[in-house]
Amino acid sequence: MSGRPNGFDLEKVVSDLRAARERWRQQQGRSLEPGGRELPSREALAEILSGLRGALFPMRLGPPDLRQESEDYYVGHTLDTVLQALLAQVRLELRHDARTRQTAQTEQDLDGQALRLVRDFAAALPALRSLLDSDVLAAFRGDPAARSVDEVLLCYPGIEAMIHHRIAHQLYELGVPLLARIVAEQAHAATGIDIHPGARIGAGFFMDHGTGIVIGETAVIGERVRLYQGITLGAKRFSVDGEGQLTKGEPRHPIVEDDVVIYAGATVLGRITIGRGSSIGGNVWLTHSVPPGSQVTQARSQQESTTGGPT
């Protein structure tokens, strides 16, 4: 490397980079032994997602030359390939987690756990497809500009984000949160919609336009909820433990009940509840719960019963 007349002094750069890596691994208690990849691959996950999208919607998101009479063959072949690739990534996460936590699990134990997890994921795909169908229909029915369900599936960033989220949430629930987060962040990069894979979202969810929506890890969203662009369902504050470290996993994001509409730019913070059928206006900053049937606007907070009168 040093013999090339380019003046880059690559030998020193490579040596210094190796030293930086070794310092980091020593600080993190990582092994310095030679070996293969320790963590899942973003590139591998992108290929897996592409295959899953095609298997879920073969005639819309599958290969352009696919014929309907070949759907089952394509889906079966694709899933066989994709699930084997997913199994390899699941193994990597489980092994890395076991090393980090210094558990007594053997390689055989972890391989068996990985296989069970991927089998459970595969078994969940039909229900996941049904959930996505409800999201597509919600977008078509909720947007007067939508000319067909096919247009919604092919073009809407909110649907692309939900395909990723439904897959990511399933992985999160099955116990591979790193894989789930990679899947979620790939959707975030592509659409500008940031949904943590831990968020629980009911059927018929519609994000109109969608850009800038942020939904936190412990958010719970009911059925037939509609969000517009620029909305945050976030945490109001972060609790800390006795050592001053952030407490992980505590419920800290909103609960949004069924049939709620939240308009563009609204910010809803903390473990509060937005009651069923409520409407939250654009640019509202909300940090307290509101009962079912509420209408909240910038100008005033007005609670109305289902008959339209003030409560």
pLDDT digits (tens, 9 = 90+) for 284-300: 999 999 999 999 998 75
The percent of residues above 90 in pLDDT, for the chain, comes to 79
Q: How far apart are CA 155 and CA 168, in angstroms?
A: 20
The verdict on 185 and 56 lying in the same domain is: yes
Is residue 238 classed exposed, middle or buried when 0-12, 13-18 and 19+ CB atoms within 10 A define those classes?
A: exposed
In a domain, 292, yes or no: yes
In a domain, 28, yes or no: no
pLDDT digits (tens, 9 = 90+) for 66-106: 999 999 999 999 999 999 999 999 999 999 999 888 888 89
Average pLDDT across the chain, whole number: 91
pLDDT digits (tens, 9 = 90+) for 197-252: 999 999 999 999 999 999 999 999 999 999 999 999 999 987 777 777 777 778 99
193, two tokens: 């919609």
Residues 6 or more apart in contact with residue 182 via CB below 8 angstroms:
40, 42, 45
The verdict on 221 and 157 lying in the same domain is: no
In a domain, 12, yes or no: no
Helix (H) or strand (E) holding 50: helix 42-56
In a domain, 257, yes or no: yes
Amino acid at 280: I
Rounded to whole angstroms, the maximal C-alpha distance in the chain is 84
> Which structural domain range is residue 179 located in?
37-192
∠ CA 121-234-137, nearest 5°, is: 50
The verdict on 43 and 183 lying in the same domain is: yes
The verdict on 49 and 156 lying in the same domain is: yes
Q: Would you state the pLDDT for residue 38?
A: 82
User: Strands 261-262 and 206-208, how do they pair?
Assistant: unpaired
pLDDT digits (tens, 9 = 90+) for 34-51: 566 789 999 999 999 999
- Of 192, 223, 247, at which residue does a domain stop? 192
In a domain, 203, yes or no: no
Question: Average pLDDT of 21-37?
Answer: 74
Separate counts of helices (H) and strands (E) for the chain: 8, 15
Q: Would you state the pLDDT for residue 302?
A: 47
Question: Average pLDDT of 263-276?
Answer: 97
Domain with 167 in it: what CATH number?
A: 1.10.3130.10
The verdict on 67 and 187 lying in the same domain is: yes
